[in-house]
């Protein structure tokens, strides 16, 4: 594709100067836009179904990730096809990264608790969680998240499996691949979301939680409008037409 041609594929749109400029404006300085674009193109190569999604939905998902300073590499967040819409999923590790970036947290931990674990929770504090990896852990029956701030305050929350399943049942994305294939991670994320909602530690995490509530994974209603307008698609098309 030459510089004056309108893209016909998602990979083509990802490579346009218009999109790269918006990525550069959204990303924190420590992440270069070239590295980000390469990761986005790799994600499409690894999941061909993304190439069949509406280009604006995938570009908006990438721009949202850039705003959070997370890479589209499948480690901290995932872009998955939901019908013809590419949908951003920030996973548990992404939340942990955002919390650490706040500068207020010295320790974060979340886990699932199984039948053969030793677990003790007393008046808001996780007293003990011991796992004997020499034997099967059994079925999960609860999960928890805990954070310790740099001034020494430690806070925790525990959710039963029934509470996690209720959250899933009420969610519009309850049958998504994230819930179906990565239930323990989603359980930990549910507990961490519950805890950070109470503490309101980081504006970025607050925004990510609000996004989950409105868009897909934990939404109980239709998705909200995209955070970013996809006008760069029309603008780029217009520029190409004008130059020809």
* pLDDT (mean) for 153-164: 95
| Residue 157, pLDDT above cutoff 70 | yes
pLDDT given for residue 184 in this prediction? 93
Q: Which residues lie closer than 8 Å to 172 by C-beta, 6 or more apart? A: 216, 219, 220, 221, 222, 223
The band of 79, judged by pLDDT with boundaries at 50, 70 and 90, is: confident
If DSSP codes are grouped into helix, strand and coil, which group holds residue 195?
Answer: helix
pLDDT given for residue 147 in this prediction? 94
CA distance 80 to 198: 29
- Say which DSSP state 70 is in: -
* pLDDT (mean) for 98-117: 93
Q: Between 219 and 132, name the one with better pLDDT.
A: 132
CA distance 100 to 201: 10
pLDDT given for residue 177 in this prediction? 74
Q: Which residue has the tokens 């992404």?
A: 94
- What's the predicted TM-score (pTM) here? 0.73
Percent of the chain past pLDDT 90, that is, above it, reads 29
Query: 227: exposed, middle or buried (C-beta count within 10 Å: 0-12, 13-18, 19+)?
Result: middle
pLDDT given for residue 7 in this prediction? 73
């Amino acid at each position: 594709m030459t510089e004056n041609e309108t893209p016909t594929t998602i990979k083509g749109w990802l490579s346009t100067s218009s999109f790269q400029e918006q990525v550069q404006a959204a990303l924190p300085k420590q992440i270069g836009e070239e590295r980000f674009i390469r990761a986005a193109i790799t994600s499409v190569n690894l999941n061909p179904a993304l190439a069949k999604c509406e280009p604006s939905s995938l570009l908006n998902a990438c721009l949202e990730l850039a705003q959070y300073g997370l890479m589209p590499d499948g480690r901290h967040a995932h872009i998955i096809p939901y019908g013809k819409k590419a949908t951003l999923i920030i996973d548990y590790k992404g939340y942990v990264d955002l919390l650490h970036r706040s500068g207020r947290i010295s320790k974060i931990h979340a886990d699932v608790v199984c039948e053969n674990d030793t677990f003790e929770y007393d008046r808001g504090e996780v007293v003990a969680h011991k796992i004997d990896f020499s034997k099967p852990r059994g079925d999960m029956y609860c999960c928890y998240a805990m954070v310790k701030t740099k001034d020494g305050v430690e806070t925790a929350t525990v959710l039963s499996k029934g509470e996690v399943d209720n959250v899933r049942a009420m969610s519009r994305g309850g049958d998504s691949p994230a819930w179906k294939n990565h239930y323990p991670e989603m359980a930990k994320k549910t507990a961490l979301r519950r805890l950070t909602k109470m503490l309101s530690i980081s504006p970025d995490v607050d925004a990510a939680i609000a996004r989950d509530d409105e868009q897909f994974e934990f939404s109980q209603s239709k998705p909200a409008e995209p955070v970013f307008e996809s006008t760069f698609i029309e603008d780029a098309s217009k520029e190409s037409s004008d130059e020809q």
